[in-house]
Amino acid sequence: MLLHLPHILTPEEVLQAQTLLATAPWGDGRVGAGEQAKQVKNNEQLDHDCAEAQTIRQMVLRGLDRNTTFFSAALPKKVFPPRLNRYGGDTNFYGNHIDGSVRYMPDGSGRLRTDVSCTVFLSNPEDYDGGELCIADTFGEQAVKLQAGHAVLYPGTSLHQVKPVTRGHRLACFFWVESMVRSDGQRRLLYELDMNLLGLRQRHGDSAQTTAMTGVYHNLLRMWADT
């Protein structure tokens, strides 16, 4: 499931993030990447522990906590601490790749399975050319380029790339989610059921039928979830 999440960050938060990143200490994005990734990766990243990264990371995590659609779609068990990257100039692309299936948490607290990938855009699309996040899914390749503060969720199993940035800079925050529900197909069914129940309640109020269907949702989640 590929899903657009609008307004993860407020306009004020976007401006604060952009201001911090304008003077941030960017480094080679290939540092720490696997051998295969290094062959197609050519971007910049911030050190995980630098002050700018820590501030923006907390901002994004607070934004995710505010967003009920993120919880419904991702059903997060663990969230990898968000990181920051930049594309532009001589370091302007990331070729086709699939994210590693398991990552070690930076604080040494264990491992995380990358069921869901997420990118939060921090540059407005009119400020750079190129830089589309192209994701291969069952409907072909989807090109994603969103407003600053908006995010896209997609399966961690997807082949994807960032197209070359030919003008300006593309700033983004990225991270992974280990979901309580491992299967993308099962997550999709639960998300669709949840969203339709929400729509029915808003339109007609609660009823015996919506109460029963809510029970179906939770029983499916109980059946599929690993907490």
**Does the pLDDT at position 137 exceed 90?**
no
- pLDDT (tens digit, 9 = 90+) per residue, 29-63? 988 777 777 899 999 999 999 999 999 999 999 99
Domain co-membership, 201 together with 115: no
Overall domain count for the chain: 2
Domain co-membership, 175 together with 191: no
Tell me the CATH number at 101. 2.60.120.620
Give mean pLDDT, residues 75-87: 98
Domain co-membership, 191 together with 150: no
Q: Do 120 and 177 contact (CB within 8 A), yes or no?
A: no
3-state helix, strand, coil in the chain (%, to 5): 35, 30, 30
Q: Tell me how far apart the terminal alpha carbons of the chain are, to the nearest angstrom.
A: 21
Tell me the CATH number at 219. 4.10.860
Domain that holds residue 17: 3-179
Cα separation, 28 vs 23, in Å, equals 16
**Does the pLDDT at position 194 exceed 90?**
yes
